[in-house]
Structure 1
């Protein structure tokens, strides 16, 4: 029988290899039946095993474990994955031992896979893609207790809180399986040294850097209004990154606890943007969206959240995200200052763009007539609707901002509202670039909802949407 040990207020089940071998298919009626109802995916971590660790006893135990799982008939039966590293693969008459193992249970229900790659990160990331394809977010990982701190670091980097991950101990013989033997109580085997954590983070970083770009090359849009000899700027599109989930593919630049793209993927996309655009990733700052009109004046105390940034520091890149909301860039070539704003419909009503303009005037002595403003890709009046009560507020700014005003959800033009408010604040009409540009080769204010191959869109894609950005910096 499997035994339990006490760990704090939790009971942890230890699964022994000899238990697997002795009981075989009886696992169905004991431990594995619980797995099928508790988890949607079960990962058995064999990445600690090396070539000389693999033997017939271990192979037989795995086969019997998988056969027992294959007999599950519940609709909640889990997807089971054996994860191992390349070092474990051995050649026998031109065939992999693991492939033979795989063939032995292919006749079951097709819920089992062996994923074998160069190292733990590439193996686990390949499995993550399989789980995302199947829309699985509840995961149980069975692994030796000594591996748990390492695996927690890997999963914290590669997964977000969308996933529910729990761990279960797999007891193996340390001497035979290249695991460090420890006499410490299992309750103490939960920490990871700073050096080991950094090693894993560097391994993940190098792995992501090696991945090919998806959906074409990285493409940036630039405005002819902002002078290139003074400012570096651009608006990203959705091609050229490594995000593989459909609504985030491929150049997503925002990570959220509600989405499946982990921060490490977004960081790699940002690194590629920095290399292509020519700015320093270490001095990149994006707004912390609050859908309001707060502005961070760089160099002063940073607000907890803000939808605008202004700076006159050279070599510092500031950015605003957008996925229907407008990423707005500001440049003063005379005083050499710049700004960025995230202008959603709420921020537009609160005047976030003029708040940035006013901050540039008060902090850097800018003349409002010198400030250039470019509205980036955003949802157009063709695709954006608001409830009547909210649409009325735009109607008061300018009746032309609302179409089908009498309907319960009129179409609203947040771009036009932004222009009207900027002009009312003193910005010259010719110094504002928006969708009024007639030349399609010069227009950067494209509709995000209408262009699925170029841009992300919350309106079009729903809650699991990706994000593009507008960025600007003052050249040194």
Structure 2
């Protein structure tokens, strides 16, 4: 249909659960208006849960029950349209639904395109359906397209955290020289169940938009006492590549090192071992993500990090202070028999055999400790006091093995104080 309004006929959806977002923000619709719009989009919304967006000042006395037979209906309202969208997204995440259809009008096309870029990630399937809606009493975009990023940032900053923020520290690392810690899972804004609440890494495969991750980082940084804008987090590709801050980034890297005051380096984890390194003599530091593959490749990611600090900054392994953080423990890390053999060949103490369990359990944290010792780091310099099991502590940590996908990430971080 060509003209002021248009309607896009969409392909038949699968049976997967989805939500239809009715964009009536700025309108004063009647129930009949809503039903007429629904009728025009036909089968594209059948079986969906409905979210109706209205300005809070028109959301009075409108009975939305039985708007679409068999479809639960909820109202999302706020004084600002972008905030209605963010509230609706949080509801999607509560429901663990990633398929969204937006019923709106053509004048809102550019606004919605920008909203998708800022508020959602590519893991969502989003279709826009354009149709006639009642005349809006405010402009269709609500606010300018260019201001959406700032509006999202300000809205996230206004929200209360889910839980209390906190982090673990090592007594091994001198607090007067280094800021450091291992984050826990609470004190942030992430709402998707397996990622709630202080998820600290952004990926296009997970529901948290980059703006939300930046706000989570800001909150941790403010609490821990560093500049979140100077945080550099390893990519976690399960290898042994080390990146030195200030140099060109490699394609993939599992550790970051620095000797720049004010710069904080970090590594992510959702079960893998986190390792922090401090050299108080040469004033440098590092953080490594030690997955089992990176641990068992060549000298291992932990020693690869020490060797990089030696090469770049003159570090002597005997001066390195190490803190090994939370990871999945031998209580939970059941491993394939063939894959476990390399740990057993390295050192039998890295394997635990349990009665009535045909598969062994692997101690990746201990493996990293022994690799560091064999590489010249004194055992007394390696702190294991924070090696809590991530899977056993849902009150403290994210865990891929426990929560499945999508999962959140905590980080281990360290930097030289200014």
TM-score (norm 1): 0.80
Distance 1:403 1:38 in 2: 42
Q: 2:120 aligns with which of 144, 159, 171?
A: 159
Q: 1:78 aligns with which of 48, 54, 60?
A: 48
Equivalence for 1:64: 35
Distance 1:419 1:38 in 2: 46
Cα distance change of structure 1 residues 162 and 107 upon mapping to structure 2, 3 Å threshold: closer
Distance 2:63 2:14 in 1: 20
Q: Deviations over 1:417-467 (max 9, x none)?
A: 111110110000000011xxxxxxxx3211111111000111111122111
Equivalence for 1:362: 311
2:402 corresponds to 1:423: no
Q: What secondary structure, in the 3-state scheme, does the structure 1 residue paired with 2:275 have?
A: strand
Q: Deviations over 1:20-73 (max 9, x none)?
A: xxxxxxxxxxx8997898982221212244xxxx3xxx425424338869x99x
2:408 corresponds to 1:466: yes
Equivalence for 1:318: 265
Equivalence for 1:381: 330
Mapping of residues 238-317 of structure 1, within 5 Å: 238-317=185-264
Gaps of 5+ in 1: 6-11, 16-30, 91-97, 181-191, 435-442
Return the structure number with greater helix share.
Answer: 1
Q: 1:46 aligns with which of 5, 24, 45?
A: 24
Q: What secondary structure, in the 3-state scheme, does the structure 2 residue paired with 1:102 have?
A: coil
Q: Deviations over 1:350-402 (max 9, x none)?
A: 20000110111111111111001110111111111221111000011100111
Cα distance change of structure 1 residues 35 and 312 upon mapping to structure 2, 3 Å threshold: closer
Question: Higher relative contact order at CA 8 Å, sep ≥6: structure 1 or structure 2?
Answer: 2
Distance 1:309 1:144 in 2: 48
Offset of residue 289 of structure 1: 1.4
Q: What secondary structure, in the 3-state scheme, does the structure 1 residue paired with 2:395 have?
A: coil
Equivalence for 1:220: 167
Equivalence for 2:103: 142
Equivalence for 2:75: 114
Q: What secondary structure, in the 3-state scheme, does the structure 1 residue paired with 2:367 have?
A: helix
2:345 corresponds to 1:396: yes
TM-score (norm 2): 0.90
Q: Deviations over 1:199-222 (max 9, x none)?
A: 10000000000110112x101111
Cα distance change of structure 1 residues 448 and 75 upon mapping to structure 2, 3 Å threshold: same
Gaps of 5+ in 2: none
Equivalence for 2:152: 204
Distance 1:303 1:205 in 2: 30
Offset of residue 315 of structure 1: 0.4
* 8 Å Cα contact 2:21-2:100 kept in structure 1: yes
Q: What secondary structure, in the 3-state scheme, does the structure 1 residue paired with 2:339 have?
A: helix
Offset of residue 81 of structure 1: 1.9
* 8 Å Cα contact 1:63-1:105 kept in structure 2: no
Distance 1:304 1:32 in 2: 39
| RMSD, aligned CA | 2.9
* 8 Å Cα contact 2:33-2:133 kept in structure 1: no
Offset of residue 236 of structure 1: 0.3
Offset of residue 147 of structure 1: 1.0
2:394 corresponds to 1:452: yes
Distance 1:173 1:114 in 2: 17
Matched pairs, number: 412
Q: What secondary structure, in the 3-state scheme, does the structure 2 residue paired with 1:100 have?
A: coil
